[in-house]
Chain A
Amino acid sequence: MRGSRPVWIATGALCTVCTLLLLAVAGCRDTPEPFEAMDRPGDTSELPRRLTFSVRDDRAPAWSSSGDSILYSGEAFPPPPAPTPQAAPFRVAVTGGIAAPALANRTRQDPGGYLTTPVPGPSGGLLVAELTAILDPDLCPGFGGLPSEAICTEEGLGSIAPELTRMLLRVEEGSQVRTSPLIRFDGRRTLVDSPFGWGITYYPFHGHFTLNDGLVFRPSWSPDGDRVVFSDGLRLLVWDLASGEVDEIPGTGDGVSPAWSPDGEWIAFTRLIRGDSIVGSCQHSFEGTPTCSQLRTVFPLEGTRLELVRPDGTGGRVLWEGDEAAWTPDAQRLVYVEGGQLWVRPISSGAPISVDGTEGARDPAVSPDARFVAFSRLADAGTYDIWVTRLQ
């Protein structure tokens, strides 16, 4: 219908009508909702709670500063086509779920090395230990990686065949990476003027490392985030991040698995008890052909004992039998491994209390609110997984 009236009158009327109509459909229905994946069950309140199920080792749990997730070291799966195992740090929510890589470019399928014992720093950054496996576990030159058989003169000499490592501590924060000097553990030495071209000494930490799969070098942050204490298997060392220097803590021989107390006063650690040494020779052969001889000295491990020492090496104090101690946030108690389970005990006085549901547990780590403890546990498949339970 035509009209000569001003257009704006008609337009205004139209706008009004249209607006009303639009309001009428204001309950506009949404677009089709895309499928939302429900890949896994949500939070379960059941404790102890298993967080990882991998058929490969997951070890060394550590709490995030917020306490809502746990970092751990997980071996790659499916295994990459590498000659040695690889592992990378991951982060999983304390309620379970997907474990995401904790470091960029370190994926589950391609960790790019063996990175273990992730520990978040007090002021940011993630501390990890990068282990480099030596391909010649028996130190037989020229036959690196090939299977060989050792025939030894003394019983017990051949029971230890560690994959000796070198270690590098790394602190990664974004694109910034700081590394410690290279730490060697091999105990290897060249024998001069001897029919045995090579000699090797097996200290207690070797046996501990091999037989119990212990992460004996475990680094631990000082509360101020300036230093890191760790072990090279024979002693405790402190890496000063500012200077880059690594210094030994006096009086910590055979000290492993250190843990710096939250108040900074103490370092708890495991003292490996040496037994009497055994000395003898071993003849290595490959498919029946002798390849080399070694002179071996083995110090067997007779036990583990928890001790305290101040960072400067003073005030050493023997606590009790146990291993792999972890501090509670108030720096008054330790959670530790003894007799194949976890215990909690005040460092001053008091009886140990077992932590329920931690049979087979290793590597305890206490949550920032002291309510939970994370740990690794041997599963039926013979590998470790990460668990969490309540700390009484």
Chain B
Amino acid sequence: MFHTLGRHRCYGLVIFAFSVSFTSPLAAQSTGRIIGRVVHAESRSALKGATVRLIDFGHTVVTDSAGRFILVGVPPGERAVEVSLLGYRSQRSDDLLIRSGRATDVEVALVPEAVELEGVVAEVERVRLITPEIAATHEVVLGEDLRELPLDAVEEAVELVTGVTDGRFRGGRVGQEIYVLDGVELKNQFEASTQGLGFELPPSALEELEVITGGMGAQYGSALSGVVRYQTRRGDPGGWGGAVNLRTDHVAPEAAFTGFTALGGGVGGPVGLLGRGATVRADLLLQSMHDTDPRSRGLTCLQEGDGDAELDELLREVAASGFGGGEAPHCAFTPRRIPHQQGEKLLGFVRLDRPVGEAATLTGTLLWNRLQRQLYTPEFKYNPTYQLGQRTRGMLGTVALHWNRQRSRRGIHVATRMAAARLDRHLGALDPWTFDDRNTVFDFGLSDYRFLGEDFTHKPPEEQVAAGKPVPGYIEPGGSVGSPYGPAGEGLFSTAGTPEIANWSRTEFLNGEVEAELQTATGHQIRGGIAGRVFRIETYENVEAHDPSAVPILSSFDPATFQAFVEGSLAATDDFTVRVGFRTEGFRTGGAVPSLLQDSILGAGPDDWDVSFMPRVGVSGPIPNGWGTTVFRLNYAHVTQPPDFQYFVDTSIGDSLRTDIRRQGNPDLSFERGASWEFAVSHLLRDERFAVSVVGYRKELNNLVSGNLPIPGFPADQFTTGDFGTVQGIETSFRARLPGLHARLGYAAQWAEGVTSGALEDTLRLREGEGRREFPLAYDRRHAVDLALSLGRAAGQSESRWGVTIIGSAKSGFPIDLRPPQVAGELPVQSVDQVDRFPWTHQVDLRVTRDLGSLPGCAGCRWRAMADVRNVYARDNVIALRRDVRTLGPSVDQVEALAVGQGLREPIPRESERYSALLDRNGDGLIDEDEYSAARIPAALDRLDPSLYFGEAFQLRLGMEVTF
């Protein structure tokens, strides 16, 4: 018989025969531990000498005189533990949930052999609503729960966490978070701020996902704003099992169809050939998409109401003009699905685990990714041949050796990890072969997308320049036919030629780290580690690849980073936990840039190390003399992160269509720094089935590198690394775990502001108050509400055949500045009123599953049907606006300015390739100036279509899953 341990009497969950809780500070390990006590079932006295054995893994320990034991280095997942003692009936639990970096606390009550007791129902509550002993703000999504969510990518689950919106953690910019895969810290250190992690895991490969938004421990280095921790599944040593699922919307009604098909799954089990206890697990996800980014209004065009009254009037005039013969001549081509957005995703993951002797385990993983897609651009939408595309190929391999030393009251765990990765990204004009001749099945192909001149761009730049020719295949964009406006679309649409850019980057790194921890059965812990990483980064960019005289920029450098930390965690009386950590981190830009053909920004010397030291402190525990169900935590952390290495070579990188944030480089190439405080209170309600938490935080961000909106009248066009800002906010969450119902509701409010300064200003002086002006940081989303609701089988109610999961979010808009046209000779007016906000967005997604029982013909298999609905209410969420007018539509002045073309030098005859019958209104075989001008306005309106200004489309996907 298993019981909770006494020291968690206040917060232990409803425990019957077997219960668990988690008792330790967070850690980034890829293993967990079991801390427990073995007692006599009736007298509750400690039993010394009981053997505790982790089945299938060989971990064994004997209890001490107080009945205590600790098992370290336990692989995460559902594990089986058996406790035996001569004269007692052995106890066994087969589904003890072990989580990486955590201690699972158990109490085992043994019954004497001679005593006859009725069997005890083992009800296990494995996930706790609050964790008083953990001094961090975090949320955990178990792999099995993750797979019940109507999501396409693991990253979308991260968005469900309170405090995370659009990849931004608590007001930080994209890229200020790190990712940890099975204990290995990952970050796309080259271009995290624009490309994110760069790697993606198949959802089926995950054992659990944890998102930490505050109180990151000393182990986490470059996490200025958050940590996302992935723990992958390992093969079950007890037998083979797995699942395969297929989802598609090809059978959905047209209104809900976007061309999505996904085939995924995984299989794992023992591999006897590799030795006793060796296991393998393999997961694969194949996705094909007609539209990789389906928008709610599809390929739409301007409508009345999208702009001001003047634009409405113009639209009516165009409709009345008779050009094109339709009611909306500027909407000549508006399929619901956006063309030229086709894409594929191939994710594969293999994990191999093998015991090495009695005390060690060797783990190897291999992750490979291939994400490739077309990138819709309005100016190329009428180009039948050439489109912009991007392909990312990633390969990550890790090898880890975990060594454990067990004693009754303490355990030592040492992990040594090596990782090597390569991330290749190519952005450029796609070779038409990709869509004309490439072999595909259900729109998915095994071969890579091809890009024009890809091989050429990888030649030494000197050879490229000496060749004196454009990147092979590139053609100057232009064209005067092919759009619905014929020659009137000239200069507005590139119906011929290729996109101009050819760009690639390659990031390779080799990582080595050693980490050791000493843990006691009473919950104390001391840990430390050291890690180093060397990079090899190459980048190439030719922004006018069709021009033989264009000089490409190719840079190559070898940065390096190192980290070291030590952290102690003291589990004091009455469940107080104090965690104190210290961390140092350094980086260097690394070497010369031998192949650079144009200037780049290189501030610090290539071999100079920039080193940072940072303390981190956290306290958590119950509120003294509280109501017994209220806990608190307090955190302070000094955090730093090396700049994205792309700042070494880029001086100005556009952030996005929406915000137009300009990253202005980091001339000092210094750390981005920050300091954060947070205080949180959590309270359990009604038999601990409900929990409410409130977190308040404040974060200072220094050396921003980028951030503010460029406010008219302020010298914001050049940032310095002296800029600074603050983020403060409140997060509240409500959780409920009832039989057949799990719910979480979160609300986050934040204020993120910073100074705006220029290259010639002393921001340190600004810090003292004189002349200091602060504006909302570009990623300052004020309000965000998240909801996740699981019902029936999705909430673990195995007797129910139906499972329902609902996730929803409502978010206030990011700030947007106003850039009115500047009057010649006049300075822009300074005004904070120039800052406005995008409208709120709302979205609800739904998954419904129906268990169909055993699969006919396969008695050991079960199958179920599933239906995913995205954006249930088919809401048109506006996520972008035009900066100058803050509307979807442009001003009439903008339209007319765009419509001014080069005019006609003489009429265009019918035999000309520039001729369009649509423009030849009088049918005389010639397009004259009047006919040309009449089509120019609708062409300009079409060019300014707001298709990409909307959020996700309404989609319905139907699928089937088989488990075995």
Interface residues in chain A, defined as those with a beta carbon under 8 Å from any beta carbon in chain B: 1-5, 7, 9-11, 13-14, 16-18, 21-22, 24-25, 27-29, 31-41, 50-55, 74, 77-79, 90, 92, 96-100, 108
Q: How far is the CB of B207 from chain A (nearest CB, A)?
A: 16
Is B686's beta carbon under 8 Å from chain A? no
Which residues of B in the span 715-748 have a Cβ within 8 Å of any Cβ on A?
none
For this complex, into which size category does the number of interface residues on chain B fall? 35 or more
With A10-B861, A13-B857 already in contact, the answer to whether A98 and B248 are too (CB < 8 A) is no
Query: Are B483 and A55 neighbours in the complex by a CB distance under 8 Å?
Result: no
B240 adjacent to A53 (CB under 8 Å): no
Give every chain A residue within 8 A of B259 (Cβ-Cβ): 29, 31-32
Q: In whole angstroms, how far apart are the Cα atoms of A3 and B299 in the complex?
A: 48
Q: A25-B250, A35-B483, A78-B905 are in contact. Are A2 and B916 (CB under 8 A)?
A: no
Q: List 23 A-B contacts (CB under 8 A).
A: A2-B236, A3-B861, A10-B860, A13-B855, A14-B962, A18-B244, A21-B246, A21-B960, A25-B248, A25-B442, A29-B250, A31-B339, A32-B338, A35-B382, A38-B918, A41-B917, A52-B910, A54-B911, A55-B909, A77-B909, A90-B911, A92-B911, A100-B913
Residues from 211 to 260 in B contacting A, C-beta threshold 8 Å: 236, 238-242, 244, 246, 248, 250-251, 257, 259
- State the CA gap A33–B333 with chains docked (Å): 10
B248, B263, B910 interface centre (most CB from chain A within 10 Å): B910
Q: Is the CB of A14 within 8 A of B244?
A: yes
Q: Is B340 an interface residue (CB 8 A)?
A: yes
A11: chain B residues at CB < 8 Å are: 267
Complex formed: what's the CA distance from A92 to B236 in Å?
71
- CB-based nearest A residue for B481: A39
Write out the residue numbers on chain B whose beta carbons fall within 8 Å of the beta carbon of A33.
Answer: 335, 339
User: Looking at the complex, which one of A16, A79, A99 makes contact with B911 (CB distance below 8 Å)?
Assistant: A99
Contact: A35 with B924, CB < 8 Å? no
Q: How far is the CB of B302 from chain A (nearest CB, A)?
A: 17
B925 close to A (CB within 8 Å): yes
- Complex CA–CA separation, A17 to B959 (angstroms): 11
What 1/0 mask marks residues of chain B from 299 to 343 whose CB sits below 8 Å from any chain A CB?
100000000000000000000000000000000110101111110
Question: Does any Cβ of A come within 8 Å of B926's Cβ?
Answer: yes
Task: Give Cα distance in the complex from A25 to B251, angstroms.
Answer: 6
Q: How far is the CB of B938 from chain A (nearest CB, A)?
A: 14
Find chain B residues with CB under 8 A from A54 CB: 909, 911-912
Docked complex: B777-797 residues within 8 A CB-CB of A: none
Q: How far is the CA of A97 from the CA of B911 in the complex (A)?
A: 5
Which B residues lie within 8 Å of A98 (CB)? 911-913, 915
Check if A37 sits within 8 Å of B495, measured CB to CB: yes
Closest 4 CB pairs of A and B: A53-B925, A53-B909, A99-B911, A78-B905
Q: Which residues of A contact B382 (CB under 8 A)?
A: 34-35, 37
Known contacts A5-B860, A35-B382, A35-B483, then 4 further A-B pairs from the complex at CB < 8 Å, ordered by chain A residue: A34-B381, A35-B384, A52-B909, A74-B911
- Which of B299, B442, B917, B926 is the one whose CB lies under 8 Å from A55? B926
On chain A, the residues within 8 Å of B484 by CB distance are 35, 37
A37/B481 contact (C-beta < 8 A), A52-B910, A77-B906 known: yes
Residues in A neighbouring B907, C-beta threshold 8 A: 55
The reply to whether the CB of B443 lies closer than 8 angstroms to some CB of chain A is yes
Smallest distance from the beta carbon of B759 to chain A beta carbons, Å? 45
How near does chain B come to A373, taking the closest CB pair, in angstroms? 19
CB contact under 8 A between A34 and B855, given known A22-B246, A22-B442, A25-B250: no
- Kindly list chain A residues whose C-beta atoms are within 8 Å of the C-beta of B870: none
Given known pairs A18-B246, A37-B495, A39-B917, the reply for A31 and B342 (CB within 8 Å) is: yes
Using Cβ atoms and an 8 Å threshold, which residues of chain A touch B335? 32-33
- B760 interfacial contact with A, CB 8 Å: no
Is B293 part of the contact surface with A, judged by Cβ < 8 Å?
no
Question: Residue-by-residue, is B897-912 near A (CB-CB < 8 Å gives 1, otherwise 0)?
Answer: 0000000011101111
- B912/A108 in contact, CB under 8 A: yes
Whether B522 is near chain A, meaning CB under 8 Å from some CB there, is no
User: Nearest Cβ in chain B — how far from A340, in angstroms?
Assistant: 23
Give the chain A neighbours of B339 by CB distance below 8 A: 31-35
Chain B nearest CB from A60 CB (Å) reads 15
Q: What residues on B are CB-neighbors of A3 within 8 Å? A: 239-241, 860-861, 964
- Given A39-B917, A53-B925, also A34-B340 (CB < 8 A): yes
A7 near B269 (CB under 8 angstroms)?
A: yes
Beta-carbon nearest neighbor of A29 in chain B = B250
Whether B689 sits at the interface, judged by CB under 8 Å, is no
Complex: how many Å from CA A267 to CA B962? Answer: 84
Instruction: Determine the chain B residues whose CB is within 8 A of the CB of A52 once the complex forms.
Output: 909-911
Evaluate contact between B246 and A32: CB separation under 8 angstroms: no
Verify if B883 is at the interface (C-beta below 8 Å from A). Answer: no
Q: Are A7 and B863 in contact (CB under 8 A)?
A: no
A11–B244 Cα gap in the complex (Å)? 9
CB of A31, distance to nearest CB on chain B (Å): 5
B924 contacts across to A, CB distance below 8 A: 53
CB distance from A104 to the nearest CB of B (A): 16
What's the Cα separation between A16 and B857 when bound, in Å?
Answer: 10
Task: Fill in one digit per residue for B850-876: 1 if any A CB lies within 8 Å of its CB, else 0.
Answer: 000001011011110000000000000
Q: Is A1's CB under 8 angstroms from B241's CB?
A: yes
Q: Is A29 a contact partner of B925 (Cβ separation < 8 A)?
A: no
Nearest CB in chain A to that of B246: its residue: A21
Q: How far is the CB of B934 from chain A (nearest CB, A)?
A: 17
A1–B963 alpha-carbon span in the complex (Å):
6
B662 contacts chain A at the CB level, 8 A cutoff: no
Of the residues B299, B861, B913, contact of A1 by C-beta under 8 Å = B861
Chain B residues, CB < 8 A from A79 = 906
Minimum C-beta distance from B231 to chain A (A): 20
Is the C-beta of B559 less than 8 angstroms from some C-beta in chain A?
no
Residues of B within 8 A of A32 (CB): 259, 290-291, 299, 335, 337-339, 341
Closest Cβ of chain B to A64, distance in Å, is 16
Please tell me if B486 contacts chain A, counting CB pairs below 8 Å. Answer: yes
Tell me whether B618 is interfacial, beta carbon within 8 Å.
Answer: no
Q: Is the CB of A2 within 8 A of B909?
A: no
Q: Which residues from A are CB-within-8-Å of B860?
A: 1, 3, 5, 10
Residue pair B240, A4 in contact (C-beta under 8 Å): yes
Would you call B482 an interface residue if the criterion is a C-beta within 8 Å of the partner chain's C-beta atoms? Answer: yes
Q: Cα distance A2–B237 when bound, in Å? A: 11
Residues of B within 8 A of A78 (CB): 905-906
Q: Would you call A51 and B481 a contact (CB within 8 A)?
A: no
Give min CB distance, A164 to chain B, whole Å: 28
Most buried by B among A13, A29, A35: A35
Complex interface: chain A residues within 8 A of B481 (CB): 37, 39
How many angstroms from the CA of A217 to the CA of B495 in the assembled complex? 41
Contacting residues, chain A, for B862 (C-beta < 8 A): 1
B contact residues around A29 at 8 Å (CB)? 250, 257, 259, 290
| Chain B residues in 8 Å Cβ range of A13 | 855, 857-858, 861, 962, 964
Instruction: Please indicate the chain A residues that have their CB under 8 angstroms from the CB of B265 in the complex.
Output: 14
Q: Which of A22, A53, A90, A97 has the most CB of B within 10 A?
A: A53
Are B964 and A10 interface neighbours, CB within 8 A? yes
Contacts of B333 in A (CB 8 A): 35
CB distance from A329 to the nearest CB of B (A): 26
Task: Please give the distance in Å from A46's CB to the nearest CB on chain B.
Answer: 13
Q: Which residues of A contact B855 (CB under 8 A)?
A: 13, 17
- Residue numbers in A under 8 Å from B246 (CB-CB): 18, 21-22
Q: Min CB distance, B804 to chain A, in Å?
A: 22
Name the residue of chain B whose CB is nearest to the CB of A36. Answer: B384
Cα separation A92 to B912 with both chains bound (whole Å)? 10
CA distance A39 to B488 in the complex (A): 12
Q: How far is the CA of A96 from the CA of B265 in the complex (A)?
A: 56
B964 and A99 contact, CB distance less than 8 A: no
Known A55-B926, A98-B911: A31·B858 in contact at CB below 8 Å = no
Nearest chain A residue, comparing its CB with the CB of B909: A53
A106 to B858, CA, bound (A): 70
CB neighbours (8 Å) of B905 from chain A are 78
* Contact assessment for B384 and A28 in the assembled complex, using a CB-CB cutoff below 8 Å: no
Cα separation A41 to B910 with both chains bound (whole Å): 10
Shortest distance in angstroms between B149's beta carbon and chain A's nearest beta carbon? 21
